[in-house]
Amino acid sequence: MSTEIKAPVFPESVAEGTVATWHKQPGEACSRDDLIVDIETDKVVLEVVAPADGVIEDILKGEGDTVESGEVIGKFKEGAKGESGSADSKASSAESDSDTDSDKGEAKAEQSQNSGDAILSPAARKLADENDVDPSAVKGTGKDGRVTKEDVQNHVDAAKSSGGSSKPAESAAMPEVNVAAGERPEKRVPMTRLRASIAKRLVNAQQTAAMLTTFNEVDMGPIMELRKQYQDSFVKRHDIKLGFMSFFAKAATEALKRFPAVNASIDGNDMVYHGYQDVGVAVSTERGLVVPVIRDVDALGLADIEKKIVEYGTKAKGGKLAIDDMTGGTFTITNGGIFGSLLSTPILNPPQTAILGMHKIQERPMAVNGKVEIRPMMYLALSYDHRMVDGKEAVQFLVAIKEMLEDPARILLDV
C-alpha cells in the first residue's frame, strides 16, 4: 500500500521549512520509526519517521527545497522490500558458502559490515561520520541495541572531556583542498534557515528598537563563598550542582517585579506589561544561538532552575528543543563569560524590552573599606529599549541585581 510522506504540521509562528537531509533514498528499505528526512525551520529541526516497515517509493521535494506545513514531500510503500533487504539476503548467502575465495571473503566481510551498520540510526550514522567516530565503539541505548544520535553525541562529549581526539563537526564544513602555494581556497554554502532567522531578528532588533546599554560590575565573592559552603549539601539534596545562572535568574526576577517596564514588551503602539516572569536563557549550539524559556521563575527554587537549565542544554545539544520551549519569554539572560568574554553589549530579543549580559569572572584590585583587595569581579551589561524603558529605570534595575548578588540574603528577603 502506497502512502504519502508529509512535512510535519508547523506551529502558527512557523510559515515554512526547508528539506535539510533525506536519510533514505528511493528503493531503500526502512523499518517503522526509522528517520526518513529532516525538515529545518527557522527555529528547530523537525524529524519525519517511517510510518511502517517498507520502502521509499519516490522523493517529491529534494534537499534544499522549501516546503509548507503538511505538504507532501514523498511517497512510501508499506510492506515492500528494498535494497537493504536484498543486501541482507546476499550477505546471508555469502556467509553460508564456505568455499569462497579471498575476493569473495572480502566481499562477505564488507556485506557483513553493511548489515551491522543497521544498528545505527541514520541521524546517528551522520553524526558519527562527521565526528570520525567508530560506531562499534558506541554503546547503543535504543531499541534492540540500536545506537541513537544521543549515544553518539554522548560518546563525542566524553572523548572531548577526557582529552581524546575527536574530529570536530565543524571540520566537515571545510573541504580538504590541495592547492598550489599562494592560492586561497573558498567554499560558499547557503545560510541555514536558523542562521538566517537569527540574522533577520538581530538586524530587525537594531533597526526598530532605540537600543541602549548600561553597565555595572558585581563582586561575585559572596555567591562563590555560598556555593562553596553548600555545594555538597545541595548536590546530595537535589542531585544537581548549584551554578551561577540560577542566582542571576532569581535576582533578575525580583528586579523585574520592582521595575515592570523592563518586564514588558511593545506591540505596535501598545505597551504590554506582563504579570509573570518567563526568563529566556541563551544557549549556544553548533547550529546557532537558541533561547529556551524558563516559565514562572518566581515560583521556582534554585534547584528547579538549575534542572531546567541542564534539561534545555541537553535538548539544545541534541537538537531536540521544541518550538514551545523557545516561544514567549519576558526577559533574557545571556552568558558570554563561559567563552571568556570580559565585556559586551547584548542585542535585544524582540519583542522583549531588555536583556542581561553576564561575563567572565576576573580577579581585580578593588577598594574595599579604604583598602585595596583582590576581588572576583564580573561586568554586567543591560541592553534595553529606550522607547519603553527610561535610563533611570534601567540603571536602578541593574543596581538592584548587583545588590542582590553581592548580598544573596536580599533575594530571599526581597529587600
Residues paired with 358 in a beta bridge: 335
Helices (H), 173-284: 193-208, 221-238, 245-258
User: Which set of grid coordinates corresponds to residue 209?
Assistant: 528598537
Bond into 351 cis (ω within 30): yes
Cα dihedral 201, 207, 212, 218, rounded to 10, equals 20
Residues with catalytic function: 386, 390
Is there a contact between 120 and 135 (Cβ–Cβ < 8 Å)? yes
In 3-state terms, what secondary structure has residue 241?
coil
Give the Å distances, CA to CA, from 149 to 35, 303, 319.
11, 28, 10
Is there a contact between 177 and 185 (Cβ–Cβ < 8 Å)? yes
Residue 228 identity: K
- For residues 291 and 339, give the distance between their C-alpha atoms in angstroms, rounded to a whole number: 17
Is there a contact between 32 and 93 (Cβ–Cβ < 8 Å)? no
Q: Distance between alpha carbon 213 and the CA centroid of its chain, in Å?
A: 26
**Residues with Cβ within 8 Å of residue 300, at least 6 apart in sequence:** 294, 308
Round to the nearest angstrom and report the end-to-end CA distance of the chain: 68
The angle formed by the CA atoms of residues 8, 13 and 14, to the nearest 5 degrees, is 40
Residue 232 identity: D
- For residues 360 and 339, give the distance between their C-alpha atoms in angstroms, rounded to a whole number: 8
Is there a contact between 247 and 356 (Cβ–Cβ < 8 Å)? no
- For residues 225 and 396, give the distance between their C-alpha atoms in angstroms, rounded to a whole number: 26
**Residues with Cβ within 8 Å of residue 302, at least 6 apart in sequence:** 234, 242, 246, 247, 250
Residues paired with 227 in a beta bridge: none
Is there a contact between 6 and 74 (Cβ–Cβ < 8 Å)? no
